[in-house]
Amino acid sequence: MVELTVSPAHRRMRRTVHRLTRFDLLPAPEVQRAFADGQTAGDPVAERFVAETYHGDLGPERSRELLDHALRVGVGNIPDAPESLRELFAEFDTVPDWVDPELVEQGAAVWRRWGYSLGAVGNAGTMDTYTEGSLAVPLSLSGGYAGASALHRYLETTRWWLEVCRPGAVLTPGSRAREVSLKVRVMHVSVRARVAEHPEWDAQAHGLPISQSEMMLTLLGGSVGPALGLFALGFLTSPAEMRAVLHFNRYLGHLVGCRVDGMYPETVADGLRLLYYFDATRRHDSGPLGPELVEGFVPSFAPGPQLRGLSRLRTLYHLQLQAGYTRLFMLPWNRRRYDLPSGLPGTALLLLRAPLIAAVELARRASPAVDHWWQRSSYRRWARWHAWHVGRREERFDAGQRLRR
């Protein structure tokens, strides 16, 4: 088990808040233990498949073809499919007993309303975690969020977000959402195995790369984090909707191999406690990798020299928006560690449009028609932005990619 120690400053804050409000900022001891245990837990079913195929005699290219074929025709229609592939599909296709389809759809609707803002605030929160070597080392080694490739990986992640929040998509067998989710799961497992063998990885300090606990933090970054943070920008997410998006994210976690029984929050308050616990037990041990990842992300949105006219203005607009989200949603004491754009123009834009968003949010509560329009229009703007950047390029979610060093 990885040792996690709550900092003295966070202990003092906990005591003060508890004295004033009777609210405990830290999760229950059993949840803390589960979170610590989760630092050394991986995804055994998918790991067996990847070890036998992508990292075995079959090799990455033929393994990719095998996985695509199984997704297309069904693993039951492949007579010589490896047993590890059958086991992977059996687990992936099983809908857990705790899943409430109505809550899943309500949570997906929340993502559609948040649209572009979900990804932007999620990235700001993610950059805030790059103080930690356990998170920074895998990303730096894989190269996904380093330097010029940061925008490409963000667009790849956005494709997954767009697919899984389509109405009914994640519970529909054979959907693109489920296909991409399984590929994301296999990609994570492949990266985990390669990073775990790399000399830069400290298993004693950090446990497993892309561990169960760290994957769970990304689920909170898609639910509790934006639900509360986006209030400041006019997105009036109700407590019931927050619980729905928590449930939706838990099911997304199931699809990508995150098993969080014993620590996943049932309530928004429990989600806040887990986020506080992560912050309270930071090691701040990412060294130069933190600045490499953080300082390269926002500039990756800058327009290339080939862009002119409206395309250039559009790119500059989104560059300022991303800088604004970063200014608003990275913790100030962490943000000061890095050399980042000021973000003031983007912050001003976000705050100026907040009253308009709040007005629509109030209207959609009174009118199902407005709510439907709000979901559809937010989703379409998000999808158009993604398509404009991606062009003809197709996301591969490549589990065969080697580490960059």
pLDDT of residue 399: 85
Task: Compute the average pLDDT of residues 70-89.
Answer: 97
pLDDT band at 98 (very low <50, low <70, confident <90, very high): very high
Average pLDDT score over the chain: 94
Q: Is 108 left (phi over 0), alpha (psi -120 to 50) or beta?
A: alpha
What one-character-per-residue DSSP string does 262-329 give? Answer: TTS-SSHHHHHHHHHHHHHT-----TTHHHHHHHHHGGGGSPPTT--HHHHHHHHHHHHHHHHHHHHH
Query: Is the confidence at residue 366, as pLDDT, over 60?
Result: yes
Tell me the pTM.
0.95
- 355, 234 Cβ separation under 8 angstroms: yes
User: What percent of the chain has a predicted confidence (pLDDT) above 70?
Assistant: 98
Residue owning tokens 């989104």: 318
pLDDT of residue 148: 59
Q: Cβ of 65: how many Cβ atoms within 10 Å?
A: 11
Helix (H) or strand (E) holding 128: helix 116-128
User: What percent of the chain has a predicted confidence (pLDDT) above 90?
Assistant: 87
What one-character-per-residue DSSP string does 377-392 give? Answer: HHHHHHHHHHHHHHTT
pLDDT of residue 182: 98
Q: Is 389 exposed, middle or buried (0-12, 13-18, 19+ CB in 10 A)?
A: middle
Task: Compute the average pLDDT of residues 283-295.
Answer: 94
Comparing 395 with 156, which gets the higher pLDDT? 156
Task: Compute the average pLDDT of residues 74-86.
Answer: 96
CA distance 43 to 148: 30
Query: Is the confidence at residue 396, as pLDDT, over 90?
Result: no
- 267, 243 Cβ separation under 8 angstroms: yes
pLDDT of residue 217: 95
pLDDT (tens digit, 9 = 90+) per residue, 101-156? 999 999 999 999 999 999 999 999 999 999 999 999 999 998 766 555 788 889 99
Task: Compute the average pLDDT of residues 199-223.
Answer: 96
What one-letter code names the amino acid at 325? Answer: Y
